[in-house]
């Protein structure tokens, strides 16, 4: 049985606002990298477009990210061979136990 890992408190800052988060230690670097990406993109949007307030730039950011996500095409199909193998082994074990 795997024990639940303790989460850590971190503070992140997006668009000059600080947010407290609870994250797993192994996810902290990913979260901080995501925050850096958001802030960098917001800064770029602010330098290129006129907006009334930060909500305008956040909306632009969300639209940009969703457009990229929807236009992304998977390069390869997911590999589920490991799952197929595991299911075959499970079936063999069950057959052996039930016979």
Q: Distances from the Cα of 35 to the Cαs of 5, 14, 27, 28, 71, in angstroms?
A: 23, 7, 12, 11, 22
Q: Which residues fall within 8 angstroms of residue 23, CB to CB, at 6 or more apart? A: 7, 8, 10, 31
The per-residue pLDDT for range 44-56, each reduced to its tens digit, is 999 999 988 999 9
Residue 25: predicted pLDDT: 96
3-state secondary structure of 31: helix
Residue 1: predicted pLDDT: 45
Q: Beta-strand (E) ranges in 1-99?
A: 8-14, 17-23
Count how many domains the chain has: 1
Boundaries of domain holding 13: 1-73
Encoded tokens for 10:
């971190």
Phi and psi at 12, nearest 5°, equal -115, 155
26 in a domain, yes or no?
Answer: yes
Residue 84: predicted pLDDT: 80
52 in a domain, yes or no?
Answer: yes
Residue 90: predicted pLDDT: 80
The per-residue pLDDT for range 11-43, each reduced to its tens digit, is 999 999 999 999 999 999 999 999 999 999 999
16 in a domain, yes or no?
Answer: yes
């Amino acid at each position: 049985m795997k024990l639940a890992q303790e989460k850590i408190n971190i503070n992140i800052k997006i668009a000059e606002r600080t947010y407290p988060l609870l994250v797993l230690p192994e996810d902290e670097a990913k979260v901080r990298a995501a925050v850096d990406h958001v802030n960098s993109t917001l800064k770029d949007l602010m330098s290129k477009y006129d907006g009334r307030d930060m909500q305008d730039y956040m909306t632009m950011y969300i639209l940009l990210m969703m457009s990229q996500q929807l236009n992304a095409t998977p390069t390869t199909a997911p590999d589920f061979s490991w799952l197929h193998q595991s299911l075959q082994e499970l079936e063999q074990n069950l057959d052996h136990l039930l016979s």
